[in-house]
Structure 1
Amino acid sequence: MNEIVIKKYPEGLTVLLNPDIPFETLYTALGRKFRESAGFFGNARLAVSFKGRELDPEEERLLVDAISDNSELTVLNILGDDDDDVNQFYIKAGSRFPGAGDGNMLSSFYKGTVKAGEHIESDTDLIILGDINPGGEVISAGNITVLGTVYGTAKAGSKGDRNKFVIALELRPVRISIADESATQFVRRGIFRAKSTPKIVYIKDGELTADEMNPETVEELKLGFAGKSDVKED
């Protein structure tokens, strides 16, 4: 078995780890692999999933450092075994979202971080391939998916549709709104976790709610993630 096997998909990587070699050997091999492939991966921002062996948080951190130190990649999030279905949801982020409001609405992409003073607006579902910084604002008549952290402002359902949602890897917003409902606090500040849990903000029982993004939430909201026959492949 190889020391390291890397599988790339849109906006993410799965790294298969040999379970039978010392961690130090694995760490060195991972750094070498990404150093040799730096030109191929470029400066993408993506989520990473480690498979094949159990890792403690410190080992996860060291492997992320090995990737960052030997390439121009930015690791947005670490996805674990329980995140497979969520992972697939993000892989299909540019696909249709049947059952979530207007099932015929296609997604628009914005690649990069939305910086302070920038205003991004769309009439379609909007995928942000980066963060929304404080002072940055993203508004969509559809849903908003952020493959990064919301520090600034995000508003979905801007034309009044209360069935829309905002999904992000991390929520630390100035403000998040769905239609006419707004909130500013969803998470405890000052807590760092190497492995975060994606969140979804939506209106539940008439109130703005933030839940962990998991297959059960996807099913409850009928988001139509990967595996449904009417999901359009990239």
Structure 2
Amino acid sequence: MSQSVTIKSNKYGINLVLDPEIGFDELLKDVVEKFKASSTFFKNAKLALSFEGRKLSEEEEQQIISAIESNTSIEILCIVENGTRQEAVMKEQVEAFYDAVQQQYENAAAGNGPEQFYRGTLRSGQVISSESSVTIIGDVNPGAKIISQGNIVILGALKGNAQAGCMGDRNCFIFALDMQPIQIQIGDLIAKSPDKPEPKRRTLRRSKTPEVEAQIAIARDGNIYIEPITKNILNNI
């Protein structure tokens, strides 16, 4: 088997070490071969993916992801850049977050429906509407909007609008790795970003946290709070 591709596991997923010398088409075939050989080990896994050893364009990254998912039962949740603060956040928080969320979905009422996934950046003017909880694997840019009857999970930056529990459920939440919304709504509670206050609407109450620290928006005491993600928070949502 070719040694141009090496799979290394880490705390939040897998690190793909790629040969920088061979042609990309040949590399892509080697990626498929490597993952097929490891399909039993990674069966039905949901993983974050990082790359090492070779500079890839965004298109090449997407081709690799498509090749992996088309030839295995693996689901790639997101791409993490090595040596970045994003990687540190993922290491500390992704496993705990998904364990807690998965438990919540298993215990949720049947009417809440299955979770839905969307991969890609939502750009201005785009709207996603879901009758269940939804996970966005990418950013939500200003002018984009998510409307969900359940929870909203954004593995990226929330810079647009998000509405969770759109049928009036205040028990829903909104999670983002980078929380910078223009407006969020949980149930019947609406809040706008502090830099654009609006009369007669509640103001987001933001905890003092690092700029890219993962945060969660929850409704409590008639207000919407944005707080750093912790096991205590997850256990009480």
Distance 2:138 2:122 in 1: 7
1:213 partnered with 2:229: yes
1:69 and 2:71 are equivalent in the alignment: no
| Partner residue of 1:79 out of 78, 82, 88 | 88
Return the match for 2:105 from 94, 97, 103: 97
Shift of residue 13, structure 1, vs aligned partner? 2.8
Q: RMSD of aligned C-alpha atoms? A: 4.0
Tell me by how many angstroms 1:211 deviates. 1.2
| Distance in 1 (alpha carbons) for counterparts of 2:13 and 2:230 | 19
Q: Which residue of the partner structure matches residue 182 of structure 1?
A: 190
Q: Which runs of 5+ in 2 are unaligned?
A: 1-5, 33-46, 62-78, 194-203
CA separation of 1:210 and 1:38: change in aligned 2, threshold 3 A: farther
The corresponding residue for 2:125 is 117
Partner of 2:151: 143
In structure 1, the partner of 2:13 is: 13
Compute the displacement of 1:67 (Å): 6.6
Where relative contact order (Cα < 8 A, 6+ residues apart) is larger, the structure is 1
Asked whether the equivalents of residues 107 and 125 of structure 1 are also in contact (C-alpha less than 8 Å), the reply is yes
Change (3 A) 1:120 1:81: closer
What SS class does the counterpart of residue 78 from structure 1 fall into? helix
Q: For residues 148-198 of structure 1, what are the alpha-carbon distances to aligned partners after superposition, in whole Å with 9 as ceiling and x for unaligned?
A: 11011110000100100001111111111101212233669xx986xx321
Structure-2 change in CA distance of 1:201 and 1:103 (3 Å): farther
Per the TM alignment, residue 93 of structure 1 is displaced from its structure 2 partner at its CA by 6.4
What residue identity is the alignment partner of 1:214? T
Task: Please report how far the alpha carbon of residue 31 of structure 1 lies from its aligned counterpart in structure 2 after TM superposition.
Answer: 6.6
**Equivalent residue, structure 1, for 2:217:** 201
Name the CA distance, whole Å, in 2 between partners of 1:143 and 1:206.
Answer: 18
Report the CA distance shift for 1:93/1:145 in structure 2 as closer, same or farther (over 3 A).
Answer: same
Mind listing any 5+ residue stretches in structure 1 that lack a counterpart? 16-28, 50-63, 222-234
Displacement of 1:69: 2.7
CA distance in 1, matches of 2:192, 2:227: 15
Contact 1:127 1:147 in 2 (8 A): yes
Matched, 1:128 2:136: yes
Question: What TM-score, normalized to structure 1?
Answer: 0.60
1:158 partner SS:
coil
Structure 1 residues 122 and 95, CA gap change in structure 2 (3 angstroms): farther
Question: Counterpart of 2:165?
Answer: 157
